[in-house]
Structure 1
């Protein structure tokens, strides 16, 4: 999986982000520990989750 940047995440819809998060999780689980693919998937999940957090309803 290619790294999903914060900029790219910001340009996607919420539904797309949930789909990408699922893909990133699966890529993370399948990649060898410590590999570049593993690191990219983890950073992608962080970027996607950060973007989703900015869209969460404020209390």
Structure 2
């Protein structure tokens, strides 16, 4: 999931540099959503690991 967030971030940066504002904004939003989902799942995973021990 983190990989896809980084891919969308790179797409947003390239689209922004080339002047495609709509595509850059959409890609940046998708990257942000995927990154936050990754963070939530990571924290839940850490909590579950600590709960097992």
**Do they fold alike, i.e. is TM over 0.5?**
yes
Alignment RMSD, CA only?
Answer: 2.0
Structural mapping, 1:23-38, within 5 Å: 23-32=7-16, 35-38=21-24
Unaligned runs of 5+ residues in structure 1 are 1-16
Compare the two structures and name the one with the higher helix fraction: 2
The structure with more radius of gyration = 2
TM-score (normalizing by structure 1): 0.58
Unaligned segments of structure 2, at least 5 residues: none
Q: Kindly state the Cα deviation for residue 43 of structure 1 after the two structures are TM-superposed.
A: 0.4
- Any runs of at least 4 consecutive aligned residues in structure 1 with deviations exceeding 3 A, and if so which? none
TM-score, length basis structure 2 = 0.63
What count of residue pairs does the alignment treat as equivalent?
43
